[in-house]
Amino acid sequence: MASTVAGTVARRAAPIELSGVTKRFVTPSGSRFTALRDVDLTIGAGTFCAVVGPTGCGKSTTLTMVSGLDRPSAGSVRVAGQAVDGITRGTSFMFQADALMPWKTVLANVALGPVFHGVPRKEAHSRARDWVRRVGLAGFEDHHPHQLSGGMRKRVSLAAALINEPSILLMDEPFGALDVQTKAIMSNELLALWEQARPSVIFVTHDLEEAIALADQVVVLTAGPGTVKAVYDIDLPRPRGAVQEIRFEPRFLELHHQIWESLREEVGRAYARTANAEGGRS
């Protein structure tokens, strides 16, 4: 039943609702660790939502629960009105680290999504070829990931994530490991591709500027256990254009100032806590 419903919405953006979500982990030593506490968050269909917060506040945990890779200890996660149970259909995930199969060529990596969905190999490859071209890697179809630069590998990941035409795109600091220039280029390309299909996006990042430049909505999480501290609507007009330039718009600076006020407190608390922990240990 769930599959047919999810199947019909897969092509369209899906709203995401988290209500009262708490996630606890039991560490191997037996102690409990709460990553998220009472998170209430609604992300409208087709919204680009950026989640910022200090290190270790459960940003990534949110993504794994929306994707269905993990489930909440309490509360519920609903995607397109359906409670998440197992892997959420129509979701693509872009991880912080490379998640490309090193033994497969660029083309085969991009084709994985359709292949896993039972699309015949030939058609999967022709669709993959199209996506490789769309992310600007035409000519690199037969290369292996280790032969590409970090930015190019991210392009492959992006193509592999978008080829399934996801209704939800989850991104966990996807450009965190890139140098500043490459990051800016990749952000522009992401926006251009996103504006074509408009899936709902949750974009986790440390970088507030990146968050404001890309998103419709910025969510600030508190220091761990994370909970929603504030949600800001970013009313910068779309299409945004180059992320390098939007940073100088007065409205951008105003928003940045406002959100940073809120974020700074949490970052400070998280830092003080780790510093204390380090001090206590030594």
* Distance in angstroms (rounded) separating the CA atoms of residues 196 and 193: 5
* Distance in angstroms (rounded) separating the CA atoms of residues 201 and 93: 10
Stretch that binds another protein, among 22-30, 47-55, 61-69, 178-186 (CB under 8 A): 61-69
Q: Which of 71, 104, 206, 269 binds another protein (CB under 8 A)?
A: 104
Cβ partners under 8 Å of residue 282, min gap 6: none
Stretch that binds another protein, among 48-56, 60-68, 215-223, 224-232 (CB under 8 A): 60-68
The reply on whether position 144 binds another protein by CB under 8 A is yes
Of the pair 60, 217, the CB lying nearest another protein is at: 60
Cβ partners under 8 Å of residue 71, min gap 6: 65, 77, 84
* Distance in angstroms (rounded) separating the CA atoms of residues 156 and 194: 15
Q: Which residues from 145-164 bind another protein, rule CB under 8 A?
A: 146-147, 160, 164
Q: Which of 245, 268, 272, 275 binds another protein (CB under 8 A)?
A: 245
Minimum distance from residue 280 beta carbon to another protein (Å): 30
Give the chain's count of helices (H) and strands (E).
9, 10
The three-class DSSP label of residue 203 is: strand
Q: Which residues from 203-242 bind another protein, rule CB under 8 A?
A: none
Q: Which is it for strands 48-52 and 74-79: parallel, antiparallel or unpaired?
A: unpaired
Return the bridge partners of 168, or none: 91, 200
Return the bridge partners of 220, or none: 52, 230
- Count of chain residues binding another protein (CB under 8 A): 29
Cβ atoms 218, 65 nearer than 8 A = no
Cβ atoms 270, 57 nearer than 8 A = yes
Minimum distance from residue 170 beta carbon to another protein (Å): 8
The reply on whether position 138 binds another protein by CB under 8 A is no
Of the pair 43, 267, the CB lying nearest another protein is at: 43
Of the pair 104, 206, the CB lying nearest another protein is at: 104
Cβ atoms 60, 172 nearer than 8 A = yes
The reply on whether position 199 binds another protein by CB under 8 A is no
Stretch that binds another protein, among 32-40, 47-55, 64-72, 274-282 (CB under 8 A): 64-72
Q: Which is it for strands 168-172 and 200-205: parallel, antiparallel or unpaired?
A: parallel
CA atoms 177, 180, 182, 187: torsion sign = positive
Of the pair 93, 194, the CB lying nearest another protein is at: 93
Of the pair 45, 69, the CB lying nearest another protein is at: 69
Q: Which residues from 75-94 bind another protein, rule CB under 8 A?
A: 87, 89, 91-93
Of the pair 106, 214, the CB lying nearest another protein is at: 106
- Which residues of the chain form contacts with another protein (CB under 8 A)? 64, 67-69, 87, 89, 91-93, 95, 97-99, 101-104, 112-113, 115-117, 144, 146-147, 160, 164, 245, 248
